[in-house]
Amino acid sequence: MSNKHWFKGNLHTHTSASERGPGDTPPEHVSEWYHDHDYDFLVLSDHNHRTILDGTEAERAKWPHLIPGEEITAAFGEVPVHLGGIGTRELVGQREARTLVETLQVNIDAIEEAGGLATLNHPNFKWSYSDREIIATHGAWAMEVFNGHPGVNNEGGGASPSAESIWDRVLASGRRMFGVATDDAHHFQGEFGPRRSNPGRGWISVRADGVSDESLLSAMERGDFYASTGVKFAELEVRGREIVIELETETELQLKYRTVFTGPNGRELWTTSGNSARFTLSRSDDYVRATVYASNGEKAWMQPVFGD
Ligand SMILES: [Zn+2]
Ligand SMILES: [Zn+2]
């Protein structure tokens, strides 16, 4: 039997530690918020800034495990190009290039050179870039399919696809890319509301053998995690070609659940209701992924399972 456990973490949050802001709260208190809300790990991802806390043992006990990183904050002209640098060994900062695709690529490369996992953040923020640009790059580990900031247009709009549809198009091109949900939290003070950038909205749960940089980052690199805005998996296994899902149900609110298995470009392969789901990949499936919808609007995204 495996002695791995699920560990909850947020990869994207801001503090007041960097001059550019925009977090309203010092990193010690941001970290305390996440610890008090049952997070096991956290990346303090300030703009082009490594926010590293060296607390006493007593202080560290009040924080989740802190993985070093930053939000690489670059631009191509007016177009923002933001990437998560997760688990980096040193400051990465931002780089410029002659085209949008090159700007993405040089910053992805810089994160890799610093030993980190590169995340493509909020592609629909100011409608920065889409599947076409992502497919033209290589090396990014994941993209944000959900970001809790109110200004990032997760759902798409007009003729522009949702972040989740962008992910499906990227996967349909044959690219292996994982999907993450994050907070991008700025506001820990004052009222919490839908137009403010508050914490606790999107996270990942990683299946690892312990809470260390090495265990968590290697599990993340393998894709052994799911992304969520509230739905939890009790079991999430791939046995040969079969995907086995068991949900951790919310009994008090009597929530109901629907699990949808999709293939390339989001094509629906199988939908089932209830607290468990199974799906067997056929020989012709390039990849399959599952999304769980709860009746209160919360969701969870399994990572794609590839046919080969
Ligand atoms: Zn950003
Ligand atoms: Zn951010």
Number of domains the chain is built from: 2
**Ligand 1 centroid to 224 CA: how many Å?**
25
pLDDT of residue 242: 96
Q: Note the ligand closest to the C-alpha atom of 73.
A: 1
At 283 the pLDDT is 87
Residue 120 CA to ligand 1 center (angstroms) comes to 9
Residues 82, 72: Cα–Cα separation, whole Å: 6
Q: Is the pLDDT of residue 251 over 90?
A: no
Give the Å distance between the CA of 175 and the centre of ligand 2.
25
Q: Residue 55 is part of a domain; what is its CATH number? A: 3.20.20.140
Cα–Cα distance between 64 and 58 in angstroms, integer? 12
Bridge partners of 239, per DSSP, are: 242
- The dihedrals phi and psi of 28, each to the nearest 5 degrees, come to -60, -45
* Ligand 1 centroid distance, CA of 125 (Å): 8
Write the single-letter amino acid at 302: M
The domain in which residue 205 lies consists of 5-227
- 108-167 residue pLDDT tens: 999 999 999 999 999 999 999 999 999 999 999 999 999 999 999 999 999 999 999 999
pLDDT over threshold 70, residue 84: yes
Identify whether residues 124 and 186 lie together within a single domain: yes
Rounded distance from Cα 244 to ligand 2 centre (Å): 34
pLDDT-derived band at 3, boundaries 50, 70, 90? confident
Nearest to 81 by CA among 43, 138, 121: 121
Instruction: Give the distance (Å) from ligand 2 centre to CA of residue 81.
Output: 11
- Residue 152 CA to residue 284 CA, distance in Å, equals 35
Q: Are residues 179 and 134 in the same domain?
A: yes
DSSP-derived secondary structure letter, 185:
B
Range 170-182 burial, b when 16+ CB lie within 10 A, else e: bbbeeeebbbbbb
The CATH number linked to 259 is 2.60.40.10
Q: Do 278 and 152 have their domain in common?
A: no
> In this structure, are 256 and 178 located in the same domain?
no
**CA 178–ligand 1 middle distance (angstroms):** 18
